[in-house]
Amino acid sequence: MDKYLKTLELDKILEMLAELTSNEESRRLALAVRPDNDLERVRYECLKTSQALSLSVQFGTPPFSNFKDISSVAARAASGAVISLRDLMDIAAMLRQIKALADWYAHCENMETELSYLFSRLQPNDWLLEKLERSIISDNEIADAASPELAAIRRKINRAGMQLRETLDKMIKNKTTQQYLQESSVTIRDGRFVLPVKSEYRGQVSGLVHDTSATGQTIFVEPMAIVEANNDIRILEGKEQEEIERIIRELCRDCGEYAEILTENYKVCNELNLYFAKSNLAAKLRCSLPNITNDGKMHLKKARHPLIDRNKAVPVDIDLGEDYQALIITGPNTGGKTVSLKTAGLLAAMTMCGLLIPVADGSSISVYDHILADIGDSQSIEQNLSTFSSHTNKVIEILKTADEQSLVLLDELGSGTDPVEGAALAIAIIRRLMENGAKIMVTTHYQELKVFAIDSAGVENASCEFDIETLRPTYRLIVGSPGKSNAFAISESLGMPSDIIDEARSGVSEANTRLEEVIGKLEAARLELEKQRDEIRRLRAETAEHEEAIRKERELIEATKAEELEKARLRAMTIIEQTKAESNELIDELERLRKEKDKKDFSANVSGMKSRSKQSFNKMYDAANPVDKRDPNEGYVLPRKLRRGDTVYVVDLQRKGIISGDPDGSDFVYVQMGVMKTKMNISRLRLEEPEKVTVGNKSIRPARKMNKVGVKAERRGKMELDIRGCACDDGVYQLDAFIDQAVMSNISTVTIIHGKGTGLLRQAVHRRLKSHPSVKAFRLGLFGEGEDGVTVAELK
């Protein structure tokens, strides 16, 4: 099938794949990939490629280096042979690659994929890698750290060399010796340090002659004073070489023990490199995993030819094998007919190679036993019999091979000969291929094939769209509508004389003219339907957006409703529990009173109990009705202007207070509520007229004086008394009544506001509090309570 795959340009795809590998062996594997027709193997390979892409997206592409094939050198090391430092460095590079892949996968959060079995076979050897990296500097140098013995020998060599140079430096600097030397420098001959002596002074420097210059003017003499030192260095160098050879043998032995694992891991790394090269190709081409079947059906959404620039390629939808067995594609030249054929065949071949393909989600493609193609890109009026014969030979071969598991792609079937005979032959070939069960895509310009597609079951027309206004192809594939060649329109746009065009039109048969007119009307109807379809899609999208907004709003309302109901339920439960507790307290109190009914103070206790019961019921009523009711006195107008000392009721706070200052003319006054003094608008206030106060058997109305405050007796006890501006006797009188009421209301602490002034009223209050039987203790107010202007009393 290779010649058909080459026609589809699969080799170019594999070359792109090979460029994404990191080493020669992986590149060879990429170029050797071939389509597989086994459904389960194809699905498995594509799944591994897809999972490699997912891993790369989440964690980045794993690191791959240009590692060498170490199989043979590892085998030699295992057999006991000594391999070169270059080979040992290649093994170290392979160990680094194994470690890098193992470390990368360790950071993949234990994700289980079909590639996990490959990563699990990796066996890093950190000890051997560290030893190789520590021992080898380059392919011709061993590091001092390779062994302590080697480091010690090299230190001795360095020390001996330094001592020898010092000796030679002294000889060179000696004035007597300098005159015998050709130049004041030390050189090396045969690995030994020598001096360059002028030939005429040969007898003046005692030593061994090692070499003579090319001119004979210089003799290289090893002075007798350093012969022994040179000999020591040569001995040390011999030991150094022996130690290096021992280290290399040890390294080879260690690598040999790991040779089998190294060879296995080398194959694993190449296999992983290939899968991640496939994933990188998928990312580069923006591919996805289609649904893969073996039923011969193809359903490609927004398919693009992978060798055409993504920004230039027009996505096409290709359907084949489900509603129809053969697809006849017509349309103008350079309109994209051949590209559609190649796209279908190439994407099928790529899938069978375990590659992802550039299609949209929801696409499906079949595995075929044969992908048979006769596609010629050369389309000119110079086609002759030899071209026709070449195409015919290919079609004959295809007819022999095609079966129900074949995809057949035929470009310009029947061209290159008489149109009438070519069209008839093309129809006969299509019928035979359909009888064989093959799935067929054919491009043509013949009108007869368009009619054949309309009249035959299992055959469908398709066209490559052409914009008649711009006279340019749009490259869209329209299934279900035959296309027009538009030869007259294209020729006219290129400058063909109109009289020739008119004459040509008159030469076209009436049947062909009617067919072209029908096709034109169908095309116009299709365009109109597409516009309507686009409008419907837009309206549906808007409707979906509105529905989504309404749904979210409804969910929000439901959530808020549920939240408010839950709050109300919790509040009701709290009220019930509080009411139950207070009811139990009342029952306990009644039971205690029943037991004490014969005591002297029973009547007083009953009165106190009634007051407390009333107070408790009022509290329970307020708790059971937490929502403020509308003010029944809405539209209230003050009966008169407010004055300092007036008692007012603050509507929104549901508290009483005392006007502590004259109105400022802007509807704002200062109101004292306990120890709190605040500025309020008079619209929030209701004037409280003074009521009669009953003390003992007397009923009096408190006298009102300038700057005096009237006090109103109420059913409920209050915790503070304001007697500022009162005379001492009047203030003490009001104090007694206030304390009695507080005791009856079971209030333990009260506040008496007497002001600072001259201090007489404060003294009178304190004298009375000392002698009052219901007062336990008292004190002046603290900072924030009113200080010397307030007395706080604790009742018994």
Q: Rg of the chain's alpha carbons, rounded to an integer?
A: 54
Same domain for 97 and 162?
Answer: no
Structural domain span for residue 743:
690-795
Same domain for 778 and 726?
Answer: yes
Regarding beta strands 790-795 and 775-780, do their DSSP bridges make them parallel or antiparallel, or are they unpaired? antiparallel
Helix (H, G, I), strand (E, B) or coil at 440: strand
Residue 525 lies in a domain: no
Q: Which residues of the chain have pLDDT under 50?
A: 378-385, 511, 621, 624-630, 632, 693, 695-696, 703-716
Same domain for 150 and 89?
Answer: no
Residue 567 lies in a domain: no
Q: Is 333 annotated as a binding residue?
A: yes
Please write down the HEC assignment for all residues of 272-325.
HHHHHHHHHHHHHHCCECCEEECCCCEEEEEECCCCCCCCCCCCEEEEECCCCC
Same domain for 61 and 87?
Answer: yes
Q: Is 690 annotated as a binding residue?
A: no
Report the CATH number at residue 206. Answer: 1.10.1420.10
Each residue of 53-95: pLDDT tens digit?
999 999 999 999 999 999 999 999 999 999 999 999 999 999 9
What pLDDT does 384 receive? 47
Instruction: Enter the pTM of the model.
Output: 0.60
- Rama region for 495: left / alpha / beta (φ>0; ψ in -120 to 50; rest): left
Same domain for 275 and 343?
Answer: no
Nearest to 457 by CA among 297, 295, 323, 317: 323
**Of the candidates 492, 508, 524, which is a domain's last residue?**
508
**Of the candidates 663, 687, 711, which is a domain's last residue?**
687
The torsion angle over the Cα atoms of residues 54, 60, 66 and 67, rounded to 10 degrees, is -70
What per-residue string of b and e applies to 574-609 under the rule 16 or more CB within 10 Å gives b? eeeeebeebeeeeeebeeeeeeeeeeeeeeebeebb
* Residues 6+ positions from 360 with CB-CB distance below 8 Å: 288, 301, 302, 315
Number of domains in the chain: 5
Residue 730 lies in a domain: yes
Nearest to 439 by CA among 323, 317, 306: 323
What pLDDT does 66 receive? 93
What pLDDT does 379 receive? 41
First-last CA distance in the chain = 112
Same domain for 671 and 704?
Answer: no
Same domain for 248 and 264?
Answer: no
Residue 555 lies in a domain: no
Nearest to 524 by CA among 516, 513, 534: 516
Same domain for 490 and 424?
Answer: yes
Q: Is 338 annotated as a binding residue?
A: yes
Nearest-angstrom CA–CA distance, 696 and 691: 16
Same domain for 309 and 332?
Answer: yes
Q: Is 334 annotated as a binding residue?
A: yes
Same domain for 278 and 304?
Answer: no
- Rama region for 783: left / alpha / beta (φ>0; ψ in -120 to 50; rest): beta
Same domain for 7 and 121?
Answer: yes
φ/ψ of residue 413, rounded to 5: -60, 130
Both tokens of residue 443? 């491009």
**Of the candidates 452, 473, 508, which is a domain's last residue?**
508
Same domain for 763 and 730?
Answer: yes
Residue 213 lies in a domain: yes
φ/ψ of residue 141, rounded to 5: -145, 130
CA 372 from chain centre, in angstroms, equals 43
Residue 96 lies in a domain: yes
Nearest-angstrom CA–CA distance, 683 and 696: 38
Q: Is 187 annotated as a binding residue?
A: no
Q: Is 759 annotated as a binding residue?
A: no
Element (H, E) at 482: none
Q: Is 336 annotated as a binding residue?
A: yes
Residue 613 lies in a domain: no
Q: Is 256 annotated as a binding residue?
A: no
What pLDDT does 272 receive? 96
Q: Any idea how long the chain is?
A: 796
What pLDDT does 578 receive? 74
Work out the burial of residue 556: count CB atoms within 10 Å of its CB; fewer than 13 is exposed, 13-18 middle, 19 or more buried: exposed
Report the CATH number at residue 746. Answer: 3.30.1370.110
Residue with tokens 């993949």: 108
Residue 622 lies in a domain: no
